[in-house]
């Protein structure tokens, strides 16, 4: 296997793991598939909606799922957020154009177009347009964070219509997404775990996304969620493994600090011993914390959000059969 394919394969492990969240994740859920959020657009500019079959008739708060895959792979199917449709949420799982087809900012433009389309069509699908959250992992975590910090800033030219509709969201859950392309190389060199990517080479998905070497330059700043942090950003919850070899844990430390400095509510959850994804991120205590976070900010539930102690992640991997 060639070097570049191997790196993408490793990155996609977390994507594949997200598909094993429940024995029957669609029980009690209605699925509306392949909705075009850009009329006559690229085949990738589509989304699926997961809606609870039983509701009280009130508009549903919405969680948008953005999948990972090094900005060049992965898909929207069976994402981590789908089970939220059994907890009184509408869930939208979106696709976006990959970097080998279109360089950044195409990816965030697609995500923002999807937000606007969903808000513009909220009444059709019984969605509450004023309570929208976004959740993503890895590359999707980066895009979710960027949706959160760049929302309403008009930093990226709108695509797909609905230009007068807001692309802001009200809550963000970021699973180990890169936050600052200007610092990631130096941070990776200082991490105790060796980063798998050879930065600024053809095998590097970071520089491939922007078509430019990483560093203190305009393109690296433009792609970085930390660049757009402001006092009116929505609340964040950030999960990151302490042994992540693809996105340095220091990225989330830096991002959390920037959000807090701006007065934005942010909770950084260090996942001890975890790498880039894995079973630790699917533990019941993690899922409960995420549900409480969205319930607080999208449903108004009175609950305090606090990072879990290290002991909460103690678990025994299932035994393997010979």
72-129: pLDDT as tens digits: 999 999 889 999 999 999 999 999 999 999 999 999 999 999 999 999 999 999 999 9
Strand partners, 251: none
> At residue 3, does pLDDT exceed 60?
no
Number of H helices, E strands in the chain: 9, 8
Tell me phi and psi for residue 156, to 5 degrees.
-125, 130
- The pLDDT confidence band at residue 191, using thresholds 50, 70 and 90, is confident
The closest of 49, 158, 61, 64 to 108, measured between CA atoms, is 158
Give the pLDDT of residue 149: 98
pLDDT-above-70 percentage for the chain: 90
Say which range, 35-44, 184-193, 248-257, 258-267, has the weakest mean pLDDT. Answer: 184-193
Give the pLDDT of residue 19: 41
Determine the longest span between alpha carbons in the chain, in angstroms: 59
The pLDDT tens digits for 240-274 are 999 999 999 999 999 999 999 999 999 999 999 99
- The pLDDT confidence band at residue 10, using thresholds 50, 70 and 90, is very low
- The pLDDT confidence band at residue 70, using thresholds 50, 70 and 90, is very high
Give the pLDDT of residue 25: 60
Tell me phi and psi for residue 54, to 5 degrees.
-110, 125
CA contacts within 13 A on the Cβ side of 137: 29
> At residue 317, does pLDDT exceed 70?
no
3-298 — its CATH code? Answer: 3.40.50.1820
> How big is the chain, counted in residues?
322
Classify strands 46-52 and 90-94 as parallel, antiparallel or unpaired. antiparallel
Spatial separation of the C-alpha atoms in residues 312 and 202, rounded to whole Å: 39
Q: What's the chain's average pLDDT? A: 91
Say which range, 32-46, 128-142, 190-204, has the weakest mean pLDDT. Answer: 190-204
pTM of the model: 0.91
Q: Looking at residues 160-167, what average pLDDT do you find?
A: 96
- The pLDDT confidence band at residue 314, using thresholds 50, 70 and 90, is confident
Count the neighbouring beta carbons within 10 Å of the beta carbon of residue 165. Answer: 18
Give the pLDDT of residue 6: 39
């Amino acid at each position: 296997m060639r070097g570049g394919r191997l790196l993408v394969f490793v990155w996609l492990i977390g994507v594949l793991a997200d598909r094993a969240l429940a024995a029957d994740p669609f029980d009690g859920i209605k699925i509306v598939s392949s909705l075009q959020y850009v009329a006559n657009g690229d085949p990738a500019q589509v989304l699926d909606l997961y809606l609870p079959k039983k509701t009280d008739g009130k508009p549903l708060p919405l969680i948008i799922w953005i999948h990972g895959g090094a900005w060049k792979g992965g898909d929207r199917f069976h994402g981590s957020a789908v089970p939220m449709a059994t907890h009184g949420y509408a869930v939208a799982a979106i696709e976006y154009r990959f970097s080998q087809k279109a360089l950044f900012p195409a990816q965030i433009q697609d995500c923002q177009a999807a937000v606007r389309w969903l808000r513009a069509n909220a009444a059709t699908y019984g969605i509450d347009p004023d309570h929208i959250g976004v959740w993503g992992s890895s590359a999707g975590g980066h895009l979710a964070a960027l949706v959160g910090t760049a929302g309403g800033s008009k930093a990226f030219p709108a695509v797909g219509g609905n230009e007068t509709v807001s692309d802001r969201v009200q809550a963000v859950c970021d699973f180990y997404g890169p936050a600052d392309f200007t610092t990631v190389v130096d941070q990776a060199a200082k991490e105790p775990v060796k980063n798998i990517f050879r930065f600024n080479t053809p095998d590097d998905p970071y520089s491939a996304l922007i078509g430019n070497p990483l560093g203190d330059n305009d393109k690296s700043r433009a792609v970085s969620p930390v660049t757009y942090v402001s006092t009116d950003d929505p609340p964040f919850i950030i999960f990151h493994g302490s042994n992540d070899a693809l996105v340095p844990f220091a990225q989330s430390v830096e991002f959390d600090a920037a959000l807090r400095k701006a007065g934005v509510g942010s909770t950084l959850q260090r996942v001890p011993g975890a790498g880039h994804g894995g079973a630790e991120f699917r533990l019941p205590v993690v899922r409960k914390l995420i549900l409480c976070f969205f319930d607080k900010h999208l449903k108004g539930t009175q609950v305090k959000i606090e990072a879990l102690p290290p002991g909460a992640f103690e678990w025994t991997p299932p035994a393997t059969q010979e």
